[in-house]
């Protein structure tokens, strides 16, 4: 009997030892799980803190992306408007060139140039002369010893008068207009000298008649 009891006791002690070992293992696993849980919770808190700190940055990036998209849309719109303006400018320049060519062709005609000369001379002289009330033009009579019709007559005291015949060297103007806008140096100076020759010149015939506009000698000055 004692032997049997000893054997049972030994078996119970062995089982108890195994149970203690198992309990220790389980306790170690529980401890490890708790540690991992605490670490995971700490990581979650740290990530939440980082996300909260980055929230304004994320919003700024979102706003910046929206602004970049808006600027790109504006750039495309402005590019389209600029292209349209350039096309309109090119069309206007072409229209102006055609108009200038037409005007140059018209003024190459002597009759048309004569009309333009008379109007240019009258436009430049009429304001002052009109204040003096001595200008009469255009006139319909001729000057003796000179063929043609003066463009205007300036009345002087004592019945005297001055017949004005306007002459504009338009060929020089056409030469000056042919110089490109990008010319510089000698080309630009040449264009300036050519433009200087386009200034208006009047051939003045002084008629010394006291009564008749066609009855005296005449003198022409440049």
pLDDT in tens, 58-102: 888 889 999 999 999 999 999 999 999 999 999 999 898 888 778
Q: Which residue is associated with the tokens 């980055």?
A: 54
Rounded Cα distance, 208 and 197, in Å: 31
Rounded Cα distance, 116 and 200, in Å: 12
> What is the pLDDT at residue 70?
93
Q: Is the whole-model pTM more than 0.85?
A: no
> What is the pLDDT at residue 15?
82
> What is the pLDDT at residue 180?
63
Does position 194 have pLDDT exceeding 60, yes or no?
no
> What is the pLDDT at residue 68?
93
Which strands make up the sheet holding 152-155, listed edge to edge?
135-136, 152-155, 161-167, 201-207, 218-221
> What is the pLDDT at residue 143?
45
């Amino acid at each position: 009997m004692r032997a049997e009891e000893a054997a049972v006791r030994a078996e119970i002690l062995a089982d108890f030892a195994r149970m203690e070992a198992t309990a220790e293992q389980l306790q170690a696993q529980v401890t490890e799980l708790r540690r991992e849980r605490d670490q995971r919770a700490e990581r979650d808190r740290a990530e939440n803190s980082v996300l909260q700190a980055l929230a304004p940055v994320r919003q700024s990036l979102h706003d910046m992306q929206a602004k970049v998209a808006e600027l790109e849309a504006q750039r495309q719109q402005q590019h389209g408007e600029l292209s349209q303006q350039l096309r309109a400018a090119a069309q206007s320049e072409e229209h102006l060139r055609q108009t200038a060519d037409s005007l140059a062709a018209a003024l190459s005609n002597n009759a048309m140039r004569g009309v333009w000369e008379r109007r240019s001379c009258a436009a430049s002289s009429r304001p002052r002369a009109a204040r003096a009330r001595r200008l009469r033009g255009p006139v319909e009579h001729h000057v003796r010893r000179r063929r043609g019709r003066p463009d205007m007559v300036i009345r002087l005291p004592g019945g005297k008068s001055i017949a004005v015949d306007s002459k504009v060297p338009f060929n020089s103007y056409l030469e000056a207009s042919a110089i490109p806008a990008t010319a510089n140096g000698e080309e630009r100076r040449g264009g300036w000298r050519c433009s200087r020759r386009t200034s208006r010149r009047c051939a003045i015939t002084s008629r010394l008649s006291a009564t008749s506009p066609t009855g005296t000698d005449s003198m022409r000055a440049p």
